[in-house]
Copies of this chain bind each other. A is one copy, B any other.
């Protein structure tokens, strides 16, 4: 994730992290909730992670600091509600998460052999999709587009054997 470019001329990573934190606290406040220490820690951990994380990984890393599993789940849910975190369901196993940095929307290429997840941007597809849905009166809120197959490395290995 880190090596991916953000919007041209846009905020740098730290500024984004800052912005996300603000957006989260605003969302919480709006709903009569509080930005507490555990919640802040979970968000920070997600923000500085350079990859997709699952609940277990977050929990294990933050457990030494006394954070419980339920809080991880609850915070993830709040972040999703506030539209700052997106969920990626792989081929199997628990879903992974990534913070919505403000960069172009991207979809995922999931390798069914090694499990790696690569990101891909498809502005063209987004447009077609949006247009077609508007035509039939369907109001798009978000979408999930996951391509399953073999990543370049695994595709090669597949052919060798």
Contacts and interface: CB of A to CB of B under 8 A. Distances in A.
Q: How many copies does the complex hold?
A: 2
A141 B112 contact: yes
A125 interface: yes
A161 B35 CA distance: 31
A124 to B, nearest CB: 6
Given A145-B143, A148-B143, A155 B129 contact: no
Interface in A59-101: 89
A132 interface: yes
Contacts of A142: 148-149
Contact of A138 (B89, B124, B139, B155): B155
A144 B150 CA distance: 15
A118 interface: yes
Contacts of A149: 133, 138-142
